[in-house]
Structure 1
Amino acid sequence: MEERLTAAFPDADFVLSNDSAKHHGHAGDDGSGESHFSLTIEWAGFSGQNRVARQRAVNKALGDLPGNRVHALAIKASAPGE
């Protein structure tokens, strides 16, 4: 996921956290240890975009990962200074 985010959002600052251990045994936990993630991303390109547009951009960048290998992804996307 980090490679895809870096390619799609050049110069972005982001933190991707694997939260899968917190969801062990819950719905969507496939036992891989890579099912639930949180992303905080700040990128100048998000300026002027609403929350939905930003989340759609992140999901587009990640392609087929959400919904397949990744069960849940919490996204907090912002532009610098927000």
Structure 2
Amino acid sequence: MDLKTVFDWFAEKGERHTLDLKTGEHFEGYILEVFEEHLLFGMGGPLAPAEPVKILLDQIDPESLWYWDINQKQYLPLKL
């Protein structure tokens, strides 16, 4: 599965998402849009940037993908 397909699927899995970059930087928020090489990620709260963050797909650690499951009311790991 190519990266865009993985992240399109991940974006549809839940309302909120968490992910880590390979550098260790952590993000929690919303996948707004997925492109071929990057995604736009929005974060909420008073300290969050006003504009979405552009994150390169190949810089994301695939083992760090979690999504909020509304039915179970908890974050679940994405199982590829």
Structure in which a larger fraction of residues adopt strand: 2
Q: TM-score, normalised by structure 1?
A: 0.26
TM-score normalized by structure 2? 0.26
Q: Bigger radius of gyration, 1 or 2? A: 1
More helix by share: 1
